[in-house]
Amino acid sequence: MSKKIIRFGVIGCGLMGKEFASAAARWCHLTNVDFEPKIVAVCDANSAATEWFQENVTSVEAAYTDYKELLANPNVDAIYCAVPHNLHATIYVDIIESGKHLLGEKPFGIDQEANRLISEAINKHPNVIVRCSSEFPFYPGAQQIFQWVQENKFGKIIEVEAGFWHSSDLDPTKVINWKRRIATNGEYGCMGDLGMHVLHLPMRYGWKPKSVRALLSKIVPERPDGKGNMVPCETWDNAILACDVEMDDQQFPMVLSTKRIAPGNANTWFIRITGTDFSAEFTTKNPKQVASLPYTPGGVQAWHVVDAPYKSAYGTITGGIFEFGFSDSILQMWAAFCDELANGKDIQQPFYCATPEEASSSHKVFTAALESNRTGQTISINWRD
């Protein structure tokens, strides 16, 4: 099968940039796809960061320290951008205005005003495809729950809980980084860093909260700066958002949580939906299992836990008996993005990457959460704007 080659530039050569390079190197893992990414250019303000790509990614033809030079490269079709949140508005807008397609890291702007600038650029350039990075919903268990929601299996929804937790920040000796500073991460704190992962599926389902009551926590007040000093941690470590979802035919509570300090959890993503006819839960803590509880009036109430086979959105060489993992979810996300670049709306399967509109919706929720925390009140969200 001949494949459409999509020539990528990477802006921000840190951990997630390397994960993309690894996914591109594993492209032969996918079956029956007619597209393939090729990383031809990389950029990082720190030239040492681009050396890994030059040493390990044979397709790289050019390396830059100025991203505008990369954008001027006519051999680049699309960009993956992974930079601190304070740089999103400037760099994302420049990418979009250059006419190159973009997969950008969340939250698409350090705050709601920055997100508005990005959205305006997208609206002015409708031929540029822009998507937000969010890989966890590509796990087979999450895909199964997505299918059940599409099939309206749950009946009247009783409640929803979704979250993304990790625990590396429990260590108070961990050196501070940009995510702990308002100037670079933003006032959202853990919500901006982790929240789009949590909101991706609820926004896709149309579960937009009409109100939010937030409980935000700063747990470790200061950290070492790596130079012998202790400096303040300015951003929120944990956030719990109690939301009220109101739709045409029903109303239900939805609890969203983003935690950098959740003891015992290493990047645990989960979603749990309970309903009058059916309930379901998936967590990456048990990546091979999905739980469900079908119910008929007067019947037995019992959770069923089954192994979720390796059945991904895009076919792979892996047999169904094996376990799906984080690197597999990233490969699937990239397949969805590249499929859209190659085939437009005629992609091979129905689950597309997180959209800029879904990212903008997350900003509405996070902004309301900050106000709720400041005032101690439940804050209404206006979705008509």
Domain map (residue ranges) of the chain? 4-132, 137-309+356-379
| Shared fold status for 4-132 and 137-309+356-379 | no
Distance CA 8, CA 23 (A): 13
Are the C-beta atoms of 21 and 39 separated by less than 8 Å? yes
122 and 128 in contact (C-beta within 8 Å)?
Answer: yes
pLDDT at 166: 95
Strands 230-232 and 379-380: unpaired
- Cα gap 80→245, rounded to integer Å: 33
For the chain, list residues with pLDDT below 70: 1
The CATH H-level superfamily of 4-132 is NAD(P)-binding Rossmann-like Domain (3.40.50.720)
CA 15, 359, 96, 121 dihedral sign is negative
Q: Comparing C-alpha atoms, which of 93, 96, 91, 84 is closest to residue 66?
A: 91
* Distances 362 to 151, 199, 201, 357 between C-alpha atoms, Å: 25, 7, 11, 9
Cα(18)–Cα(290) distance, integer angstroms: 30
pLDDT tens digit string along 31-47? 999 999 999 999 999 99
Helix runs in the chain, H state only:
15-25, 47-56, 67-71, 88-97, 112-124, 140-150, 182-185, 190-205, 326-343, 356-375
At which residue do the structure tokens 């350039």 appear?
125
User: Which pLDDT value is given to residue 90?
Assistant: 98
Query: What pLDDT, on the 0 to 100 scale, is given for residue 66?
Result: 98
| Domain 137-309+356-379 listed as CATH 3.30.360.10 | yes
